[in-house]
Structure formats: C-alpha cells, structure tokens
Amino acid sequence: MKTLFTSAPALGILLACTSNLAQATHTPVKLPAVTINGGRPSSLPTQIPTTIESISGAQVEQRINATDSEDALKYFPSLNVRKRYIGDYDHAVLASRASGTGNSARSLVYADGILLSNLLGNGATFTPRWGMVSPEEIERVDVLYGPFSAAYPGNSAGAVVDFQTRMPARLEAHVKLSAFSQRYRQYATDDRFGGGQGSASVGNRQGAWSWWVDVSRLDSRGQPIGFANKLVSTGVNSAAGLPVTGAVADKNSANKDWLIIGTTGQSHTVQDHAKIKLAYDVTPVLRASYTLGWWGNDAHRAAKTYLVDAAGAPVCRGDANGFINIGGKRYELKPSDLAPAIGKLEHLMHGFSLKQHSKGVWDWEIAASKYDYAMDQVRTPVVPVASIGQAGRGNVTDMEGSGWTTLALKGIWRPTPAHIVDMGVQSDSAALRTRVFSGSDWIRAGDGATVSTFNGNTRLQSVYAQDTWRFAPQWKTTLGMRLERWSAYGGEVSNAASVTPLPFGERVDTSWSPKAALAWQVTHDWALKGSAGRAVRNPTAAELFQGSIVDQQIVNRDPNLRAERSWTGELSAERMTSDSSLRATLFHETTRDALYSQPLTSFVNTVQNVDKIRTNGLEMAWQGDDVVVHGLTINSSLTYADSTITQNRAFAASVGKRQPRVPQWRANLLTTYHLGRDWVGSVGVRYSGKQYGTLDNTDPNGATYMGVSDYLVADLRVRYKISKQWSAALGIDNVNNARYWAFHPYTQRTAVAELRFDL
C-alpha cells in the first residue's frame, strides 16, 4: 500500500490510522469482497476479458452513506459523480477516466437494462435519471470501463453502469427512515441545511409470479449552489445608484476581483419515487418482465441578497433605473441576478422484456423501454422579486413530451462450450421538446405568448455481433463489430417574433465500431488482458439543433457538427488470490472531433468540434480481506491521466492545454471493519487533483464559485444490527469539512442517521 499511494500521502496516513484502530478492537468476522461473482447475473457482458468493477447492495448498505442511488459509485476507480447536494436531480453528471463532468453523453447508465442516461443533450443539465432507482432497492451495481462491448453505442466511451434492483425469491419487506444535516458556511452565508428520507418496499414470489413494489420520498434543503456577483472592473465611478453594503470581496476563477452580492439556487426539493416490477415465468427458462417507474419532483430554488441599504433593509432591486452603488462604483442589478425558480416534474418509465435463459445452444431476449417527460416545467421571474412567493411577470420553460425509447432483439449462440456469440438489433430514439412562454404571474401562469421553441429528434439503429472464444485453456479472446445508422430530424427553432418555427436540415450518418479483447491466464494467480475499441458518439439533439434567430435566419451554430470518434485501448495485469486482488491498467484514448462549447465569435459560444484530444493514463486498484487484522477489508484505487488537447483549429488558445475537468490524479480508499456480528464501521477517502473548467485553462483559481478545485474528503459510517429485523446507522460525509467546487459548491460536513427494518 505504501507504493500504491505514494502520490496521495494523506490516504496512506488514514489507512495507517484505520489499521491501528482495528488492532485495538475485538475479533471481527469476515466481510465479502467486492467481486463480480455471485448474486443476480449482470446485464453487462461479463464474459468479455476487460475491466469490470462491481459492488453489491449489501455492501453499499454496510459501507456507504447512500442517500441517492449514485452514491453507490462513490468509491469506484476513476469514477466521479458531480453531486452538489442530497437530491441533486439536474447536475449529478458521471465522469470517467478520460471524460469530465461536462461530458454526460460519454457514459451510459441503466437500471435492469433500462436506459437512464439522458441523451437528449450533453452537459451538466443532462444528468442520468438517478431518481428512478432508490438506494434501498439496489441488488448490485456493475461498471464496464470503456467502449469494449459491441452491445453498446458510442456513448459507452467512458463507462457503462448497470443497476440491478431487487426481485424477491420469497416474501420480504423493508422500511427505512433517515435524516441528514449540514452546517454550511461560505461568503456571508452561515446556516444549517438538511432534510429527511423515507422508503418502503415489499415483494414476493408465488409460483411462476414474482412482484416488487418500492416507494420513497426525499425532502431535502440543500445549500445555495450559485452566487450572484459583479466584476469590480464593470463598476463605473459614480455617485449614482442606490447605496448598499454587504457585498463580499473575492476573486473569480480567473483571479479577477469580484463582489459576491447574494445566493441563488438554494434548493428545497421534495422527490417521490414509485416502482412496480412484475415477472412471470412462462416456462422454467422463459421469463416475461415489466417495470413501471414514476418519479415526481417539486423544487423551489430561492435567492437571498447580501445587500442592505442605509437603514439595514435587504436590497434585491436597484434604484428606479436598476442601479446600485457599492463603495462609490455604480453597478446594474438585473432581475436575473437574484432570481428564484420553481420546478414541477413528473417522469414515467416503462420497461418490458421477454427473455429465454436456458444456457443451452440458443438464448434470446426482446426488450423495450420508454422514458417520458409527462410534466417538466421550470418557472422564473423576469422582474425583481423579494421572495419566491412574490408574483410578477415571468417565463415558463416546458419540456413536456421530451423523452426516449429503446427497442432491442438480442441473441446468444453457444455453438461449442468454448464459444459464446452475442448478436443483436437495436433502435434508440430521443425527442427533445422545449417551449418557453411568458405570463403575467410567473408562479401560476398556465400558458402564454411563446418566447422560444427548441425541438429535435435523433435515432440510432444498430446491428452488432461479438464472439468470445476460449481457444486454449489459458487463452480467451473477444472480437466484435457494431454497425450504426444515425439520423437527426425534426429540428426547429423559433423566437417571440417568429410566425412559424424555422427548420433545420436533416442529417444521416453511418459508422462502424470494431472491438477486440484478449486475455492470458499466465499462472493460477496472474492474468494479462488487453482491449481495444472504437466509439462513435453522435451529436445529441440539444447539441445539433441549437442557435438563435436573426432576420429570420438561424445563426450562431455549426450546421456541419461531426460525431466524436474515439479509439480506446487498455492493457491490464491482474493478480487474484483467495483474499485479495490487484489490478494495474494502462489506458489510452484518442478522440477526434470532440464536442465542446467554445467561442464562435467574440460574444457567442456554441458547440463545436475539437479536432483531437489525447489521454494516456494508469489505473491501479487493490482490494484485500483480513488486512493486518482478521475482518478488515480495504478497497483502494489510484488513477493518473494525462489528457491534453493536441489539435483545435476553432480555438487555438486551447492547444496544449488539459481537457476540462479531467484531473491528473484521482484516488479512492474505502476501509471496512466488522466487529462481531452486529457492528460495521467504514472510513472512506476521496481525492481529486487540480482541474480546469475551460478549454484554454484560463481559470487557475479553483477555490471559488465557478472554479473547479482539487479536494481531499473523508467519510465515516457506523452501522449496528439491533436485532434480526432492526438496524441503525450513523455517518458523516466530508468529516474534514473541505470546501470544494465543480463550478458549484459541493456539500460541507454532513451528518446522516438511519433506522431500518427488514422482514
């Protein structure tokens, strides 16, 4: 371990402290290791000799303060979820080895094979629909690193995550209640934020039928995630404007002086989740399954001014002309600076499959899913308001009708015991529907004059085949190919002056994606694996159908936006024994035509292609049971990534700079100790090195709003099994109270308490 964490000394110190603490306790019992064996089979192609990491639901319950389903990924090698607060529903993007948290479309997230990734767009606001899975229903989580399976589209360039949720073998029921709280201090904010969560589930198997019902509610008040600000350089020396005080002096991410004048985005979110799963065994080897999921969210995002006038009264608007005066400088105070927002969302998910699982010569599956934005409205005022309940003119952004559907026919052919041939035909469609309308009452407006519309569709039709062949006792190989036909159509944009929406042209492209993997079992303990694959990540509807209207022409866009094309390879050495595993993986990725927002003109940024990004790296993962003392389990990982923009004709200043939000160093450590049969304790550490948020790396100050910072965060959890049915847990995330940022602030020290009943 000293060698593994040489570049992260704080992790080594914590590990040593944990080991010393464990030696001073009583004799524990052994915990199961994190492994891909056992439990329900994964939907991932585990026969492919490449990197797959997993964790079981029982291990999540024992080791991790999991308030949202994405917390199950908290300690996976090279992964990071940009979760800003408990219940973060629209910015919790997944990052992987060579992809940052601004690249949501470069990873895939599934639940029982149903697509949860939001491929309507790419970026922070297109987060996977984590709310469709509650932490308590997780049976296991599997992660495939890289685009090495022909069964997945080019969005798998970073990683493929599959949540396997519970399906009972007998009658079982579960109830869980939890509460959480954080003291948050930043700028002039010093307050406590928190909330509670409750979930219940019940299921049974009766003959050929099995069923599962899961419901949950989350009521969370997060810390402010935005801060209204004014650059000092924009102030005009003048006596005009309403005199105010209370602004906090700071430096922005580019180290320019600015004033923080208030908070925005302080979220109170109430989320409800309900899921029904039904399964019927038509024959002993043929199962029909149906899943219905519903997720609702009422979200209020408040703003609070730091400014006060001479009488000490809060100020959220300027003088008659909209100006304030701070220290003899005049600034414009816009309605959008301190604007609240109200969101009302209801999403539906359907999934159906008919699957034969005989393990004979032939097996097959038909699967279909649909994700529907049944309601999705966000309301914001366009005039200054003093509170979230004050009426006034405003706009409503309505995304009702957006969503995606998938359809797949899959087959498995086993001509000999040494061959497994996977094949399939797939169709994935996405529809983006966005209409903004205005109203005299931003809180209650049902409809109004159109401000803008923004619509478009994409479709990906694919066929694939891959053959896994054990051609010698110590050798296994996989060769695969994927053919895709992508189309984009129905794009249109309008503004308030448009008589009819202006259409975009249609696009059709075809691409091939070969895959290959080879494994050699060198000895009983040691194995070598190599994988290579091509991924073609096509533009999403939001990236392609964008722009604005000037004189009835669509401008500020690139009509020839190209697909990302990545070649990824990895070479791994693995050692596995009865109580430990060690993996060292060299990885490389070359991405051409990467899709990033960058300057189109001096005043406009739009999505354009970055010619070439190169990433080289090393990932090490070590897991051991009974480390130093009986019962101490350690999971650890260390990742180095050199990710550089090597060509970019559209923005020459970015050439030679690091890819945004991909740190050079990342490390995770999770130690778990079981004292007797009833007590389980864990200590987790998460580390990320220096990052940038801009293509040209002109944001060196990460320790501020809009910055991207390095961080070292420690988490604690203790769980006690009170009786056969009852258990309780206490935990603290960010126990060292680190202040760290990814444009928005992450949570500070947060305490979590849980009480659970299992029948």
pLDDT in tens, 625-650: 999 999 999 999 999 999 999 999 99
pLDDT bin (cut points 50, 70, 90) of residue 590 is very high
Q: pLDDT above 90 covers what percent of the chain? A: 86
Q: CA 472: distance to chain centroid? A: 40
Question: Which segment of 517-526, 551-560, 748-757 scores lowest on mean pLDDT?
Answer: 551-560
pLDDT for res 12: 40
Amino acid letter for position 502: L
Please list, in sequence order, all residues whose beta carbon lies within 8 angstroms of the beta carbon of residue 332, skipping any fewer than 6 positions away.
318, 322, 323, 324
Residue with tokens 């990885």: 587
Distance CA 509, CA 525 (A): 46
Two tokens, residue 55 = 């964790």
Residue 616 has pLDDT above 80, yes or no: yes
Which of helix, strand or coil describes residue 191? strand
Total number of residues shown for the chain: 759
Backbone angles phi, psi at 102, to 5 degrees: -95, 0
Which of helix, strand or coil describes residue 23? helix
Please list, in sequence order, all residues whose beta carbon lies within 8 angstroms of the beta carbon of residue 617, skipping any fewer than 6 positions away.
97, 98, 586, 587, 588, 639, 640, 641, 642, 643
pLDDT for res 6: 35
pTM for the predicted model, two decimal places: 0.92
pLDDT in tens, 665-694: 999 999 999 988 899 999 999 999 999 999
pLDDT in tens, 272-303: 999 999 999 999 999 999 999 999 999 999 99
Two tokens, residue 27 = 């004799």
Q: Is 170 exposed, middle or buried (0-12, 13-18, 19+ CB in 10 A)?
A: exposed
Residue 5 has pLDDT above 70, yes or no: no
pLDDT in tens, 72-115: 999 999 999 999 999 999 999 999 999 999 999 999 999 999 99
Residue with tokens 């190209």: 562
- Contact between residue 590 and residue 565 where contact means Cβ atoms under 8 Å apart: no
Residue 14 has pLDDT above 60, yes or no: no
Average pLDDT, the chain: 91
pLDDT in tens, 392-439: 999 999 999 999 999 999 999 999 989 999 999 999 999 999 999 999
List the domain boundaries for the chain.
229-262+307-337
Q: What is the CA radius of gyration of the chain?
A: 26
Name the β-bridge partners of 236. Answer: 330
The closest of 99, 186, 72, 14 to 691, measured between CA atoms, is 99
Tell me the mean pLDDT in the region 487-491: 94
pLDDT for res 625: 93
Name the β-bridge partners of 610. Answer: 594
- Contact between residue 668 and residue 633 where contact means Cβ atoms under 8 Å apart: no
